[in-house]
Amino acid sequence: MSNYPHPIIAREGWPFLAAALAASMVVHGFWGFWWALPFWLATLFIVQFFRDPPRAIPQDPKAVLSPADGRIVAVERAQDPYLNRDALKMSVFMNVFNAHSNRSPVDGEIRNTWYHAGKFINAVMSKASLENERAALWIKTPCGADVTCVQVAGLIARRILCYAQTGQKLTRGQRFGFIRFGSRVDVYLPPAAVPRASIGDKVYATESVLALLP
């Protein structure tokens, strides 16, 4: 749960990378390069999927940072199903070519966590927010704002990893979880928050500003 520095390949990927590398080397050694080529390509895919590069952290205390790499698929007024309030909802969709490490969008204390088992429909669809497997964090910022950050599984993603616990304090950009193989992260903000990203924008975890808190 510490900030950088940490290995540039996420620890969640080490077993996959070790297995792929071993298989590639064995096939290459016994049958040659061309037979091993699909295995080497799979190894390269695993390296790019589990990459976890360092990011520069914007210092504006009111900035809500993107919790994930991907594309904005929702900027809308919605009901926060966890805190039962009106909210500004912003959603980031991650495809299999995005980095999948999830990072805290704000500084704050985790007041509660939730986990819901569910379906695995395409995470780009709006109903995925309420029907898919998901894990949610309620973060209270130092200025008293409530931010709900929700990891949502997708059509291919079948494993949500969330390491944050109630009572823990997160700093902006701090790594708190990982979702394997394509997914979505929803952020519910106070209604008065001002969006700084639009639908279709490409965003990067920690570096991109989604919105400004009131």
pLDDT tens sequence across 95-125: 888 888 899 999 999 999 999 887 766 666 6
- In eight-state DSSP terms, residue 132 is B
| Residues found in the chain | 214
> Is the model's pLDDT at 5 over the cut of 90?
no
pTM score, whole prediction: 0.87
Question: In this predicted structure, what is the pLDDT of residue 158?
Answer: 61
Active site residues: 183
d(CA 36, CA 23): 8
Q: What percent of the chain has pLDDT over 70?
A: 90
Instruction: At 120, list the tokens.
Output: 């695995």
d(CA 196, CA 159): 30
- Pick the most confident of 3-7, 13-17, 23-27, 127-131: 23-27
d(CA 120, CA 132): 5
d(CA 125, CA 128): 6
**Residue 148 contacts residue 138 (beta carbons within 8 Å):** yes
**Residue 91 contacts residue 72 (beta carbons within 8 Å):** yes
Question: In this predicted structure, what is the pLDDT of residue 95?
Answer: 87
The mean predicted confidence, pLDDT, of the chain is: 89
Question: In this predicted structure, what is the pLDDT of residue 106?
Answer: 97
Q: For 173, left (φ over 0), alpha (ψ -120 to 50), or beta?
A: left
Question: In what side-by-side order are the strands of the sheet with 85-94?
Answer: 169-170, 108-116, 134-140, 146-153, 183-189, 85-94, 70-80, 202-203
Question: In this predicted structure, what is the pLDDT of residue 2?
Answer: 45
Q: Nearest CA to 168 among 110, 106, 113? A: 110
Encode pLDDT of 53-96 as tens digits: 888 899 899 999 999 999 999 999 999 999 999 999 999 999 88
- Pick the most confident of 7-11, 40-44, 129-133: 40-44
Encode pLDDT of 145-167 as tens digits: 999 999 998 766 567 889 999 99
Question: In this predicted structure, what is the pLDDT of residue 39?
Answer: 95
Residues 80, 83, 84, 86, CA torsion sign? negative
Question: In this predicted structure, what is the pLDDT of residue 211?
Answer: 98
